[in-house]
């Protein structure tokens, strides 16, 4: 029983060391073109009783492996063949996501770390 407790404690300590949050560089943070500090812990912004998710958009080259990679990072994404407000080109996918999801900051940081993502803009719908 004692060995089991020691093993379990060691395993938990090891797992805690490997669950660090993604830390982007200042250059990668500049890709995120909206203020993350305005969002609460649930990824919402606005006054109490009127909070909404922030929608965002970015472009990626139209390659299936890139599409799969960003979809694996961000479960909220909808990938389209359209320019969006951000102005994706004919050889790019438009990716639309939102902040109302668990670990939204880490998701945005991971997207910003991708070399083929130039910028992530707030999306506005009419």
Give CA separation, 107 vs 18, 77, 112, in Å.
17, 11, 9
- Strand positions, DSSP E, the chain: 44-45, 52-53, 55-61, 78-80, 92-98, 121-122
* pLDDT reported for residue 126: 67
Q: Give the class (CATH, top level) of 22-122.
A: alpha beta
Q: Is the entire prediction scored with pTM above 0.85?
A: no
Split at pLDDT 50, 70, 90, the class of 86 is very high
């Amino acid at each position: 029983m004692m060995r089991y407790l020691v093993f379990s404690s060691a395993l938990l300590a090891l797992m805690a060391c490997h669950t660090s949050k993604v830390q982007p560089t200042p250059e990668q943070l500049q890709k995120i073109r909206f203020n993350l500090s305005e969002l609460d812990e649930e990824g919402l912004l606005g006054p109490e009783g009127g909070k909404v998710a922030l929608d965002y958009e970015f472009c990626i080259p139209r390659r299936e492996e890139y599409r799969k990679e960003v979809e694996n990072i961000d479960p909220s994404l909808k990938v389209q063949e359209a320019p969006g407000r951000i102005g994706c080109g004919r050889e790019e996918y438009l990716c639309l996501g939102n902040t109302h999801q668990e670990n939204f900051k880490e998701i945005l940081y991971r997207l910003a770390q991708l070399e083929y993502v130039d910028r992530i803009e707030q999306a506005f719908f009419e």
